[in-house]
Amino acid sequence: MCLYCYATSYVGVRRSVPKRGFLDNLRRDLSRLDPRLIINMSTSSDPYPPEEAIHKLTRETLKLLLPAGYKVLITTKGSLVARDADILASGNAAVTITITTLDKSIARRMEPGAPSPQERLDAVEKLSAEGVPVGVRLDPIVPGVNDDPQELKLLVREIRSAGAKFVVTSTYKARPDNLSRMSKAFPELAEEWRRLYRIEGRWMHGYWYLAKPVRVRMLEPVVEEAARLGMEYAVCREGFRGPRFFHAGSCDGSHLVPVRVRPGDSFWPK
Say yes or no: 100 and 224 in one domain. yes
Say yes or no: 71 and 123 in one domain. yes
**Could you tell me the residue range of the domain that residue 185 belongs to?**
173-209
Q: Is residue 270 part of a domain?
A: no
Supply the CATH number for residue 122's domain: 3.80.30.30
pLDDT digits (tens, 9 = 90+) for 84-116: 999 999 999 999 999 999 999 999 999 998 999
Q: Is 56 helix (H, G, I), strand (E, B) or coil?
A: coil
pLDDT digits (tens, 9 = 90+) for 137-184: 999 999 999 999 999 999 999 999 999 999 999 999 999 999 999 999
Say yes or no: 68 and 199 in one domain. no
Is pTM beyond 0.85 here? Answer: yes
Q: What percent of the chain has pLDDT over 90?
A: 82
Which residue has better confidence, 17 or 50? 50
Say yes or no: 86 and 197 in one domain. no
Say yes or no: 143 and 31 in one domain. yes
* DSSP 8-state code for residue 194: I
Q: Is residue 262 part of a domain?
A: no
Q: What confidence score (pLDDT) does residue 35 get?
A: 85
Say yes or no: 67 and 193 in one domain. no
Q: What confidence score (pLDDT) does residue 121 get?
A: 98
E strand or H helix that includes residue 150: helix 149-162
Q: Is residue 7 part of a domain?
A: no
pLDDT reading at 266 higher than 90:
no
Say yes or no: 128 and 199 in one domain. no
Q: Domain boundary at 153, 187, 209, which?
A: 209
Phi, psi angles (nearest 5°) of residue 13: -85, -15
pLDDT reading at 238 higher than 70:
yes
pLDDT reading at 10 higher than 80:
no
For 178, half-sphere exposure in the C-beta direction (CA atoms, 13 angstrom radius) is 22
Say yes or no: 92 and 224 in one domain. yes
Say yes or no: 131 and 197 in one domain. no
Parallel/antiparallel/unpaired status of strands 232-235 and 166-171: parallel
pLDDT digits (tens, 9 = 90+) for 175-232: 999 999 999 999 999 999 999 999 999 999 999 999 999 999 999 999 999 999 999 9
Q: Is residue 58 part of a domain?
A: yes
Domains of the chain: total: 2
| Average pLDDT estimate for 33-48 | 89
Q: Is residue 14 part of a domain?
A: no
Say yes or no: 124 and 244 in one domain. yes
Q: Is the dihedral of CA 222, 223, 226, 231 positive or negative?
A: positive
Q: What confidence score (pLDDT) does residue 4 get?
A: 81
